Structure 1
Amino acid sequence: PKAMMEADPNGPLVFLINDVKIDPHAGLVATGRVLSGTLEQGKEVWLVNSKMKHRVLQVSLYMGPVREVVSRVVAGNIAAALGLEKARAGETVVDLAFKDVMVPFEKLRYVSEPVVTVAVEPKNTADLPKMIDALYKLAIEDPNLVVKINEETGEYLLSGMGPLHIEIALTFLKENYGVEVSTTPPIVVYRETVRARSEVFEGKSPNKHNKFYLSVEPLDEETIKLIQDGYITEDQDPRERAKILKEKAGWDMDEARRIWTIDENINIFVDRTTGQQYLREVRDTVLQAFRLAMKEGPLAMEPVRGIKVILHDAVIHEDPAHRGPAQIYPAVRNAIYAGMLTAKPTILEPIQKLDIRIPINYLSAVTAVITKKRGKILEVSQVGDLSRVIAEIPVAESFDLAPELRGASAGRAFWGTEFSRWAPVPDSLLMDIVAQIRKRKGLPPQIPSPKDFLGP
């Protein structure tokens, strides 16, 4: 810390990467600030988050947009490095000698998350390998873009913060990589959650030798906010985490200490068992089963958000051959799904915040457009000759917002959008939305019942 505070060029190397770009000739260019020590060409370094050793192949300083190659860059400067192929924005790079003692900087947190998805395919089939390569390069450069392959349909899915974000990415794809693609209409990404506490359900393994007794309940808003804001993390000291949860969110101290994991969608797994035999041996398998269940919920196979899964008891077979993933995964998943389906399950939809500026005489027409789209006016103020409207609108209703706002304001509306929050869909729309998602995914129209996940 002292070397970083003083930007000591003779101290241990600490290089914080905050931007990654793919150069068609040089490969991955990692840009960041050298906080202490000296970044040198040929030096072997350690990537703290990736837990990997790399050699710095080239070091540059920026002269405007141009990289000028130098042999070394000392603390205090912004540098670009080649050779750190696994580096991503937010990575901490240190001297090899300090790999076991260096704590990474906080992860970069983004105000939004991908909430709109399109399936993409190249207009020219021969461009498929080129498109796949370009998509993955785009996702490396922009952490708010997510590229996935739908294993069942073979579709390439591109998710972003909104239709405009995806449109810009596809334009970039065409201009920089020469790939023209066609896309499906945009799909909104939803989340599943619960609104009540379930009873304890027994999940049995297919061979009936392993049993897990689990319940689910919603996480309180304060806990969700603590995780979202980075005050609570999975790799935090358990005692420190428990203390924060007790003081800020009113958790019981003992339960807070028994947190096993916190997943990427803000779900928590808590172990309330006492002295269960063989539980330690299957812990990793249980957690993997929990994560898989959280990736696809029972209502519509959408990711789960904001729930607490509690393990109350377990019976585990003594022979490792009878307690492998094929036995543990379905047992844990089925108990979680049964619990969720009895705990007032619902769907969360992404809500966008709008900041609109319009001439005063168009105010009523613009507010009518927003309310028609299930929107909510939060604030109206006067800025000179313009009215400023702050509003919220579901992302699902926003796809034709641009032409409607332009029409209502004779093209004089100027607005910006940002992700606001996840909110439960209105109960009147819940079953329709679930049916649409299930139909789109080729699932049976009927929502499963808890009995479907509980064996005889």
Structure 2
Amino acid sequence: QPTEPIMAKSPNRHNKIFMRVEPLEPEIAEMCRTGELGDMKDKKEMTKILREHDWDADVAKKVMRFDSRGNIMINGTKGVQFIDESSDSILSGFDDVMKEGPLAREQMRDCKFIFTHFVPHEDTAHRGLSQLGPASRRACLGSTLLANPVILEPILGIEVRVPQDLVGNVASVLSGKRGKVLDMQQKGIVSIVIGEVPASETFDLSQIMRGQTAGKALWNTFFKSWSPIPKSLVGALIPEIRKR
């Protein structure tokens, strides 16, 4: 969810960076991932694409970074000194957080960071990479935590072909794996169960499915989407991910 700007100081406490974050439109995030939007593309063309997606013209011109994971950094400052020569250092902190988010140090997706204000030290020696990088990183991490971030997990689509009298067994297996049945079709004597299941729940799916259907089920899975992990599981999952 969108946040108010938060302030982070550099290690020497002579520089201040203000940052806020809000969700990035899914279609824009997907363009970043496919390369249709990118830092190496023509800036005017990138601005045109954003304008076609109802972005304000001034905001579209001020994108500092198109991250290939599906995130964007925007320069929302006005009348700030030294912003151009400091942008690379500030973006280094942003890049670090996109690689390793605050919850489980996993990659981040679909975030729009707005760099709202910058209070730099006048001396170049006091606002180098070693100072602005950590400040930017803290600002990105802090604003993300205030936005109530979620951990996403891959969801697999699944199609199971099984005799009609075993359809209930298949539905039971899927529900026991945090999955659900979306549709059922009949082709002759074979029933087709169409559903979805979290990828993390499929490691022993083959064994359980064979046991519940006496080996009479045939199925295939495919990547379908990303979905937030249920809140009841997040508390135990984060420490497990951090152990890796």
Same fold at TM > 0.5: yes
CA RMSD, 1 decimal: 1.8
Please give the per-residue CA displacement for 1:197-222, whole angstroms capped at 9, x wherever unaligned.
Answer: 11111111011122111111111223
User: In the aligned structure 2, how far is the partner of 1:425 from the partner of 1:338?
Assistant: 21
User: Does residue 289 of the first structure (1) align with residue 102 of the second (2)?
Assistant: no
Please give the per-residue CA displacement for 1:256-306, whole angstroms capped at 9, x wherever unaligned. 221111212211111111232211112122112111111111122222111
Mapping of residues 68-87 of structure 1, within 5 Å: none
Residue in structure 1 matching 2:167, options 363, 366, 369: 363
- Aligned partner letter, 1:208: R
SS in 2 for 1:387: strand
1:212 and 2:23 aligned:
no
Q: Does 1:256 align with 2:85?
A: no
Task: Tell me if the contact between 2:38 and 2:68 (Cα under 8 Å) persists in the aligned partners.
Answer: no
The structure 1 residue matched to 2:191, chosen from 384, 387, 391, is 387
Query: Matches of 1:400 and 1:312 in 2, distance apart?
Result: 48
Q: Is there any run of 5+ residues in structure 1 with no aligned partner, and where?
A: 1-195, 442-456
Identity of aligned residues (%): 41
Equivalent residue number for residue 416 of structure 1? 220
Q: Which amino acid aligns with 1:292?
A: D
Other-structure match for 2:141: 337
| Map of 2:30 onto structure 1 | 225
Matched residues in 1 for 2:40 and 2:176: separation? Answer: 45
2:240 maps to 436
Paired position in structure 1 for 2:41:
236
| Among 354, 376, 381, the residue aligned to 2:180 | 376
Question: 1:230 Cα deviation (Å)?
Answer: 4.5
Offset of residue 316 of structure 1: 2.1
In 2 relative to 1, CA 296–306 (structure 1 residues): closer, same or farther, beyond 3 Å?
A: same
Q: Tell me the distance in 2 between the aligned counterparts of 1:233 and 1:356.
A: 40
| Aligned-partner SS, 2:151 | strand
Bigger proportion of residues as strand: 1
Classify the secondary structure of the residue corresponding to 1:321: helix
Other-structure match for 1:404: 208
Shift of 1:227: 3.3
Which letter maps to 1:252? D
Q: What TM-score, normalized by structure 1, do the two folds share? A: 0.51
Residue of structure 2 in register with 1:247 after alignment: 52
Q: Is the 8 A contact 2:91 2:136 kept in 1?
A: no
Q: How does 1:47-86 map to 2 (within 5 A)?
A: none
For residue 427 of structure 1, report the CA deviation from its aligned partner: 2.0
Structure with the greater alpha carbon radius of gyration = 1
> 1:389 & 1:238 partners in 2: Cα distance?
48
Is the partner of 1:308 in helix, strand or coil? strand
Greater than 6 Å deviation, 4+ residue runs: none
Structure possessing the higher relative contact order (Cα contacts under 8 Å, 6 or more residues apart): 2
Structure 2 CA distance, aligned partners of 1:433 and 1:245?
Answer: 37
Say which is worse superposed, 221-230 or 312-321, in terms of deviation. Answer: 221-230
Letter in structure 2 aligned against 1:233? G
Q: After superposition, what is the alpha-carbon deviation per residue over 1:401-438, rounded to whole angstroms, capped at 9, x for unaligned?
A: 11111112211222222221111111222222223323
TM-score, with structure 2 as normaliser: 0.92
Give CA deviations for 1:180-213 in whole Å, capped at 9, x if unaligned: xxxxxxxxxxxxxxxx111111111011122111
Which residue is 1:201 aligned to?
A: 6
Paired AA for residue 245 in structure 1: L
**For the Cα contact (< 8 Å) 2:30–2:70, is it kept in 1?**
no
State the match for 1:24 in structure 2: none
In structure 1, how many angstroms separate the alpha carbons of the residues matched to 2:33 and 2:130? Answer: 33
For the structure 1 residues 235 and 385, does the alpha-carbon distance in structure 2 shift closer, same or farther, using more than 3 Å as the test?
Answer: farther
Matched residues in 1 for 2:42 and 2:241: separation?
A: 39
Q: What is the distance in 2 between the residues matched to 1:426 and 1:241?
A: 36
| Alpha-carbon distance in structure 1 between the residues aligned to 2:211 and 2:42 | 55
Kindly tell me the number of residue pairs found equivalent between the two proteins.
244
